[in-house]
Structure 1
Amino acid sequence: MDKYSKVSITVIRRLPKYYRYLGELIDKGINRISSQELSKMTGFTASQIRQDLNNFGGFGQQGYGYNVEELHGELGKILGLDTIYKAVIAGAGNLGQAIANYKGFEDAGFKVLSLFDKNPKLIGLKIREIEIKDVDYMVEFIKENNVDIGIITTPKAYAQDIADIFVKAEVKGIWNFAPTDLNVPDNIIVENVRLNESLFALSYFLKQKHIH
């Protein structure tokens, strides 16, 4: 395990927000920021921010705050964004195509090499110069291109079959958009994106606001 393996998942999930805000500060030409100012931007307390960042080493200086560019760069390294990750998408429907179309992933170092589908009407089409290929060739393609990440945007019924193919092809991680839990070996990292659950949470808060 790496040196950050004992850091809690709740801290890890806050890091991308810090990274995003620091990127915005760089765009505005701001060189340094205090934990109090970062607190106002992020909504986390200043002490929480300091505790979070102290898990990864001392970035700030008493009376100076944080060097924005330096902290942004260090958080990028911690998040692994100084590495290029190769990915494929299984499921070339609307969601799969939207992900392939999103340039922000490539800017962050995630390169989608291909989409895969079983629908003959889609095979051969290109999304931003990324070709949709027959799912039957997915294992071969992943192994030939040393793909790191498999992205699942298929309907729920096909998700486990796709995950099994990704495991067979020896991907390192799976980004799962299907609303189902996957059964994969412990050495495969799975990050689930639950669009429905997020929408249901929004529905709950809207209802509470309406009730009160």
Structure 2
Amino acid sequence: MNGKCKISMAVIRRLPKYHRYLKDLLNRDIKRISSKELSDIIGFTASQIRQDLNNFGGFGQQGYGYNVEELYYEIGKILGLTKDYKTIIIGAGNLGQALANYTNFERVGFEVKALFDINPKLFGIKIRDIEVRDMDNVKEFIKDKDIDIAILCTNKGSAQGVADKLVDSGIKAIWNFAPIDIRVPKDVIVENVNLIESLLTLTYLYKSVNQ
């Protein structure tokens, strides 16, 4: 990839979908696929697929298409999936526990090491052998276990304070499910997942096709 070329977020957000569909093709023992065939499966145009992949050097061959295994590996490498990531979940309520129960994280290299909460009644509870711990001990745990990513599942009122504590503890990546956009230093990455915003987008689209 040319370091001088800034890849758009639209392209980056399509990469995980390519990765997921290519994994499915591998599971079906499909060895190669054309951009047209990939288009029919994913829903992007063949031209869009070629443009997206050309941002990273291509990978296809004229008259042959794409080697599925090679493309799956290369996109995984682009997405940073050549290493495992140690994660923690902050907030052991319904959402935090549901995420802890989601086994697909491990399948793509994300290992949840612990949940943290401020409610003493939850301390010591295990979700799939993942223990709920006291939030007061999170800084020591992050440093001791060399945690890469924190998943934030707190309420709106406490989210920013918790984020500040995570950053102070050395966390450089936060997956934020709290219903607020948190503020972090420029060297910390945040991916916001606002469930209500996503739901309202769905209702808008539903309304637009049912008027």
Q: TM-score, normalised by structure 1?
A: 0.96
Report if the CA contact (8 A) 1:53-1:59 is conserved: yes
Aligned positions of 1:1-212 closer than 5 A: 3=3, 6-211=6-211
List per-residue Cα deviations over 1:78-105 (Å, max 9, x = no partner): 0011111111111000100111110101
4+ residue runs over 6 A deviation? none
Report if the CA contact (8 A) 1:4-1:56 is conserved: no
Q: Displacement, 1:209?
A: 2.9
Consecutive unaligned residues of structure 2, counting only runs of 5 or more, are none
Consecutive unaligned residues of structure 1, counting only runs of 5 or more, are none
List per-residue Cα deviations over 1:1-28 (Å, max 9, x = no partner): x938711110000001111111010011
Partner SS for 1:102: coil
List per-residue Cα deviations over 1:52-73 (Å, max 9, x = no partner): 1011113000000000000001
> Aligned in 2, Cα 1:92/1:5: closer, same or farther, shift over 3 Å?
farther
Q: What's the % identity of the aligned pairs? A: 61
List per-residue Cα deviations over 1:22-66 (Å, max 9, x = no partner): 101001110000000011111111111011101111300000000
Q: TM-score, normalised by structure 2?
A: 0.97
What CA RMSD, in Å, does the superposition of the two structures yield over aligned residues? Answer: 1.2
List per-residue Cα deviations over 1:122-158 (Å, max 9, x = no partner): 1110000000000000011001111011110011111
- Work out the CA distance in 2 between the residues paired with 1:76 and 1:196: 29
Query: Across the two proteins, how many residue pairs are aligned to each other?
Result: 210
- Work out the CA distance in 2 between the residues paired with 1:3 and 1:155: 39
- Work out the CA distance in 2 between the residues paired with 1:210 and 1:26: 38
